[in-house]
Structure 1
């Protein structure tokens, strides 16, 4: 098997880990349904072998990146570019090679879309994979500025940077309390004093 000759340009659409996983599952399901059990088992083994191979290669890349010959560590701009790239991040996280923890990667995901779709973390449960988010910058009116497409963009970023997040729940902003109005009235007239 030879490597593809056309390299993916950096500006080309980024495939998501979620989409790739779904496509692999669909192909495996087709092979299992239309073929004999040995074919399905062989296909699953093929996926595992390739995952192990690519995982080992990525581990080697990360080893060389973190341990430069002069001992200075990775170039900060190169490290930032790699860890800020959704495809690279999802591959590193998939193989448990990402140097940042889940919370940091969730933060990176939210930062990557913050200018268009501001959101902030309301909590993450690692046992269930549930991330609670709330729209940021709603202006205190109690109405979320995020529409369905905006939420999908945020969720796609989270999926790329932190694939261990399996569910995203949006917290509703509480309605802002009405301000108490200060009543201004005339001062009661003072009683007349005897002279």
Structure 2
């Protein structure tokens, strides 16, 4: 039984329902922030205080969890996101970003490309993105820009502490192109040297 089916049968929210509620929450908060008045300020403060309390509760759960439970909690997309939001995720940002790239890799490979984690330099995540060329015409979609955008979004969602995501060239692209030597130059080099007068 999938997590979605299990959540629905036990009265819990399925992932699409959670996403819909989060989207609606964003809309409501944006509307509140744009409205003037003391009532709005009180409502926003109530949301902030409630969020802080829930963050503290999550932190206490982590304090009491063993390694296996901590791993299961951080693997859950919603819980992991909340741990990041409250800045209490036990994994370092670099590891979270690497895992986000690993999760995207199968989908990118299905489209004939690849994405590889390189590392972090000065708060910038570095990934190597390649797209497949094997007989895939213009109608295939999923070009380098699309893949790079998806990787950037996934990495920054998993590790918002990072400043940016940078795509680095694949090894074949980094190698300098061989210098072009004109044919007539080769012909001159291979011609016999002029003989000295006898």
For this structure pair, what is the TM-score category when the shorter chain's length is used for normalisation?
Answer: 0.5 to 0.7
Deviating runs (4+, > 4 A) in structure 1? Answer: 22-26, 136-139
Q: Secondary structure at the match of 2:94?
A: helix
Question: How does 1:1-195 map onto structure 2 within 5 Å?
Answer: 6-9=11-14, 12=16, 15=19, 20=22, 26-36=27-37, 38-66=38-66, 74-75=67-68, 78-117=69-108, 118-121=115-118, 123-126=120-123, 130-135=124-129, 146-173=143-170, 174-178=173-177
2 CA distance for matches of 1:59 and 1:119? 32
TM-score (norm 2): 0.60
Query: Could you say what the CA RMSD is over the residues aligned between the two structures, in angstroms?
Result: 3.8
Residue aligned with 2:161, SS: coil
- Counterpart CA distance in 2 for 1:170 and 1:95 is 28
Gaps in structure 2 of 5+ consecutive residues: 1-9, 109-114, 134-141, 180-198
- The number of aligned residues is 158
| Cα distance, 1:13–1:32 mapped onto 2, change above 3 Å | closer
TM-score for both structures, normalised by structure 1:
0.61
Please, which runs of 5 or more residues in structure 1 have no aligned partner?
A: 67-73, 140-144, 181-195
CA distance in 2, matches of 1:31, 1:166: 28
Contact in 1 for aligned 2:94/2:119 (Cα 8 Å): no
Alpha-carbon shift at residue 154 of structure 1 (Å): 2.0
